[in-house]
Amino acid sequence: MKRRLFFIGACAACLVAGGVMTAIFMSPSPAQTEEGAGDRRGPGGGGRRGYAPAVSMSIVEAAPVEKVIEVLGEARALRSVTVTSEVSGLVEEVAIAPGKRVQKGDLLLQIEDDDQAIALTRARAQFPIAKANSERYRALEADNAASALESEDAYNAFKTVEADLRAAEVALERRAVKAPFDGIAGLTTIEPGDYISTGDVIVTLDDISSVIVEFSVPQESAGYINIGQPITARLASGAAPSFDGEITAIDSRVDPASRTLRAEATIANADGRLIPGAVFAIRAVSEGVTVIAAPGIAVQWDRSGAYLWKRNEEGNAERASIVILQRTDDRVLIEGDIAAGDVIVSEGADRVRAGLALPDAGGNSGQKSATTAQRAAGRQ
């Protein structure tokens, strides 16, 4: 019995001694313990010793806030006229080619003019006779061979014939309807042999070397359009190329019924692609106050709102609260605790914490920076 108890006690003692030796050999040294603790520490209290997150830096610049105005407008020709007849008569010739370009002075329509041609011939025949008679009586009056009354009657007769000649010329000219300016002729229903009366519509004529697009903007946007301001226009019916133009006229008052301001923009149309009457989507951009432009991916959010990480004078990360004023495809226009020329974290901002050492603009705190930091820590 005593032997059995002694054997059990000896086994227990061996087990205890083995556990103590294992703990001694497996426990880390003080240096190792300090190094491990240092590895778990990092900037801001987290990460490995010497750890520097990979970030990209950039310098923010000042930029204006753009006010974009998008409205619909209707195009009209630079010059447009409805050609009508000034006289009555039978149509002798129609020289109109619908859709074709005509030059100023080209014949559009010829009305029968036989009577007018006869009247002009008679007036031309009477003119030199009346002129010579007036001059003869003036000479006779100077020689006291004719009275002043006879000389005056001859002169008046001459001026009457001169007026008749001019009237005959005008009457004949009105029988030929001509283009008042260069343009494109429209459709006409008049045929040779038709009888037209004074005031009848003959054809429309449009000068489309440029088109005028009329549009209206809300009264709140009236201060953002100016004479000479560039615009872009595209057909509102669907995908179409855009055309550049500029604002050439602005009304002097807001329409009290619609509370809008009328304006006009001129677009060059040398190739004739734009047609009067078409509806265009007009886009005008106006520059407003100057703010700060920053990459869109640099913006971070928390409960307090939007912010950026910027590099302070000590070279460390500092939180800058901002307000986003406008957002485009790849950048934001902001205002807040930031100024033009500040260096911010443009990429990798989600890895940054307050007080973290940051590289200068154009620097990259990736693997190279981390390796350098680790070597410096090893030398210490």
pTM score of the predicted model:
0.58
- Model confidence at 370: pLDDT above 80: no
In this predicted structure, what is the pLDDT of residue 260?
95
Tokens of 371: 């390796």
Taking only the tens place, the pLDDT of each residue in 204-256 is 999 999 999 999 999 988 888 999 999 999 987 766 788 999 999 999 999 99
More confident residue, 40 or 96: 96
| 255-281 average pLDDT score | 92
The residues near 72 (Cβ < 8 Å, ≥ 6 apart) are: 215, 236, 279, 280, 281, 282
Q: How confident is the model at residue 52 (pLDDT cuts 50, 70, 90)?
A: low
Q: What is the mean pLDDT of the chain?
A: 82
- Model confidence at 72: pLDDT above 90: yes
Tokens of 16: 């205890």
- Model confidence at 33: pLDDT above 50: no
User: Which domains are present in the chain?
Assistant: 52-63+290-379 (2.40.420.20), 69-77+206-287 (2.40.30.170), 84-202 (2.40.50.100)
In this predicted structure, what is the pLDDT of residue 362?
60
In this predicted structure, what is the pLDDT of residue 51?
56
Least confident window among 70-74, 191-195, 289-293? 289-293
| 8-21 average pLDDT score | 47
